[in-house]
Amino acid sequence: MASAVRCDSGHTWEDNASGQDACQQYATLAGICEPSIIIRYPGISSPYLPTAANAPCTCNVVAYNLASGCTWCQTVLTWSSEQAWMQNCSILLGTTYSYTSLPPFLLLSPPVAPPSVLITTSNSAAPTPTVTRLDIPAWATQTVRATETEWNPSRAQDIAEGRETSATNPFGYLTEDAAFSSAFSAVWGTGDYRNYRPNAGVPLGAIVGGVAGGIAGLVLLILLVVCLMRERKRNRLYRPMGRYYEQMGKGGLGTQPAVINHGAVAGAYCWGLWPAYTLLGTLYYTRYGKQYCLPPLKLGVSFKSMI
């Protein structure tokens, strides 16, 4: 494992405690899975990406940060987005990308890839790495913010030079928003939520609820209009009859309503919504012997037929 490239001057903040620049650190990390790796100049339009041989060691956010830092410190080179790095791992190499940490075997002292990794990557005959412990600086352990798509050198430098601080991570260095992550996990459970992007669309439940509420409101409005129309019709039919019987009750002679005899109003009066109407009409007919309100058998008109 080695790096054939070196960072330009002015990028010493990327160095770890052992004095390795970002390219040497990336070579050390990838070399645990691919001992023969040599980091070379990638070319302006060809950023570093994991390979089948080193994917178990490099498909994680730490390797992505180190490779990005190595590309950036060589000047005028473009580093990969985290999405492109992740897709290279999952789609081309069939390896799950870790947004938050290194694989467990890299946290050992010394960090040695398990035999299954070396056999899978055809490195079983390679020399055993002499790394006793990975020396990873704080800036390389930071997750990419949800509002960003790639490694941010300005933020990484702020972390390296102490202008941005956070809690301690499992590597023994700094990590971003550990207190928030702990509180979040206590409420919502554990999981990798860092790469979550909220959907800007309207939730389906809100749409369904709004439609259902609108339909219910329309139905209520229609029922209200129907009730008001029926009430107006009843008032129009009953008002002359009510005035007539009010005068009769006060002893006035009055005149019988023009529409009572065999009319719809008489039917509604005798067969109205309330049973008391039929009772009063029958008593009035029996007492005065006049067809102001016809008996049920002669009239045959129901209240229902009038509405």
- pLDDT value, residue 131: 63
Closest C-alpha among 137, 166, 130 to residue 28: 130
For 6-15, the pLDDT digits (tens) are 887 778 899 9
For 160-203, the pLDDT digits (tens) are 988 876 543 444 433 334 443 444 344 444 444 334 343 444 56
CA distance 115 to 118: 5
- pLDDT value, residue 172: 41
| Cα–chain center distance at 1 | 44
In sequence order, which residues have a C-beta less than 8 Å from that of residue 266 and are 6 or more positions away? 259, 260, 281, 292, 293, 294, 299, 301
Beta-strand runs (E) in the chain: 2-3, 38-39
pLDDT of 291 > 80? The answer is: no
- pLDDT value, residue 263: 45
- pLDDT value, residue 8: 77
Give 168's strand partners.
174
% pLDDT > 90, the chain = 15
- pLDDT value, residue 61: 93
- pLDDT value, residue 63: 93
Structure tokens at 293: 């309100």
CA distance 244 to 259: 12
- pLDDT value, residue 36: 84
- pLDDT value, residue 118: 58
pLDDT of 64 > 70? The answer is: yes
Worst-scoring range by mean pLDDT, 58-62, 212-216, 277-281, 286-290? 286-290
The per-residue pLDDT of the chain, averaged, comes to 70
Domain range list for the chain = 2-188, 204-306
pLDDT of 104 > 50? The answer is: yes
- Cβ distance 278 to 271 under 8 Å? yes
SS3 199: coil
- pLDDT value, residue 112: 74
For 247-266, the pLDDT digits (tens) are 766 655 445 544 444 444 44
Packing angle between helix 61-73 and helix 153-160, nearest 10 degrees? 100
% pLDDT > 70, the chain = 56
Mean pLDDT of 92-110: 84
